[in-house]
Amino acid sequence: MIFSTFQFMFVFLPLVVCGFFLLCKHRLPRAAALWLLGASLVYYGWWNPAYLLLIVCSLTGNYLLAAVMVSASGTLRRMLLAGGVAANIGLLGYYKYTDFVIGSYNALTGAAVPLQHIVLPLAISFFTFQQVAYLVDCHRGRAGTHGFVDYALFVCFFPQLIAGPIVHHAEMMPQFASLRSRVVQWQNIYTGLFLFSLGLFKKVVLADNLAVFAGYGFDSADTLSMGVAWGTSLAYTMQLYFDFSGYTDMALGASQMLNIRLPDNFISPYRAVNIQDFWRRWHITLSRWLRDYLYIPLGGSRRSESRTLVNLVFTFLLGGLWHGAGWTFVAWGAAHGAAMAVHRVWSAGGRRMPALAGWACTFLFVNLAWVLFRAESFADALKVYEGMAGLHGFGMTRTFKDMFEAATGVGPYGQLQFLLPACLAAFVLPNSRTLRGLVSPGMFWTAWIVICLFCSLYFMADAAHVSEFIYFRF
């Protein structure tokens, strides 16, 4: 069930919020928790009920394993952890990487092993990482014991289930148990509506319209001139940010209406002045997971400088592979790993770059790397890179204009009305975290304005052509 659909905005979400607080008002906290859990499972099963069994078995198995692990010690605890992590990664690997491995094997050896065409279950990358972190923390003695319903809610809580943020048990479990979470907090309702509306605007007005230009450049055009290639790459750079950031704002908003605070996932990443700064701002919860459960266990920066650089590159290689089963994702991860290694070596001697130059270099690199992230193949990426280098001319030809308009129904220059505001918002305007703080408790009328905006934005969108969020594929 996509956040921007009629069913979610005007039926599912109001019913869940009203039902939760009604049960809490009648002092039925366990029933309220079960209501949220049931709603979350309905939300997940809306796409394909068959995969409900997968997520229920996964969270039940991990919960039971964690319960045994807490009471175990020494070698047995380590064996249980190894088995649990292997089972989780194995399940993810089967669904997400089986065809990737077979295809790579066929390409390398010339074999003809048939692909399995396994359908990737929604959210498997996200709930796998959350549960692996929980098992690791149980092994470290940091997780404690929790009831099954609270654990299941931690895994399945519908606002963050499909595409994050990747939450940590320590920041979610106490909120589910808090008495304050069971009373209507009007400030949270106002703020949640505002965030949800802001995310909806990012998705349906900016991201979905930018997708038209990016999609034609990557998927339809045979060659690209320099202007078109740079426009294509920049359109995708902005599309990706406002698509994923929009989803996250909607997730945070829906969650805050229920008095649950999800962690921030974006803090103006395109204003970063170096690549390390970028990863402290972009998909923050994934960066945190990779640091705490991969980079640091590998040795982090506690070993030799050469080992530290290897750890960085390896961490980003796996981060790239987590995003998608394809060599372009591996290359994208490798590029970011190499950039992080170069930044570390550069900074080690106390060298610093002026802020403006640092921002320009960082954004240029990020924009170039997103080409690999978006391209379906290296040939598609090369097509865009050749165009950006000016190998196929510099201006927009009449043929391209006519073909673009015929394919999309709009003129290519019309995309500027979305690209320019997107750049302005990404580079200059206050971000969601700043704007959230402007919603004051006494402004009751603000809620009604936001509700009107919320409804208007929905009807501005073409409800018959609701597009899924990019990170649903990962």
Q: By C-alpha distance, which of 61, 137, 67, 55 is closest to 92? A: 55
Residue pair 197/454 in contact (Cβ under 8 Å)? The answer is yes
What are the structure tokens assigned to 17, written together? 């919020």
Task: Kindly name the residue from 139, 168, 323, 343 that is annotated as catalytic.
Answer: 323
Residue pair 278/362 in contact (Cβ under 8 Å)? The answer is yes
Contacts of 348 (CB under 8 A, 6+ apart): 305
> How far lies 401's CA from each of 37, 230, 404, 420, in Å?
50, 16, 5, 19
Rounded CA gap, 95 and 89, in Å?
A: 10
CB atoms within 10 A of CB 48: 12
| 3-class secondary structure, 393 | strand
Q: Which residue do the tokens 């088995």 mark?
A: 83
Burial class for 46, CB neighbours closer than 10 Å (0-12, 13-18, 19+): middle
- Supply the DSSP string of 130-192, one letter for each residue: HHHHHHHHHHTT-S----HHHHHHHHH-HHHHTT-----HHHHHHHHH-GGGGS--HHHHHHH
What are the structure tokens assigned to 356, written together? 């403006």
CB atoms within 10 A of CB 51: 18
End-to-end CA distance of the chain: 16
What are the structure tokens assigned to 182, written together? 């069971």
Does residue 117 carry a catalytic annotation?
no
Burial class for 71, CB neighbours closer than 10 Å (0-12, 13-18, 19+): exposed
The stretches of 26-147 forming alpha helices (DSSP H) are 29-45, 52-71, 74-109, 124-139
Rounded CA gap, 340 and 8, in Å?
A: 40
- Supply the DSSP string of 225-294, one letter for each residue: -HHHHHHHHHHHHHHHHHHHHHHHHHHHHHHHHTT--PPP--S-GGG-SSHHHHHTTSSHHHHHHHIIII
For 209-234, b/e burial (b = at least 16 CB within 10 A) is bbbbbbbbbbeebeebbbbbbbbbbb
Q: Which residue do the tokens 């009373």 mark?
A: 183
List the catalytic residues: 323
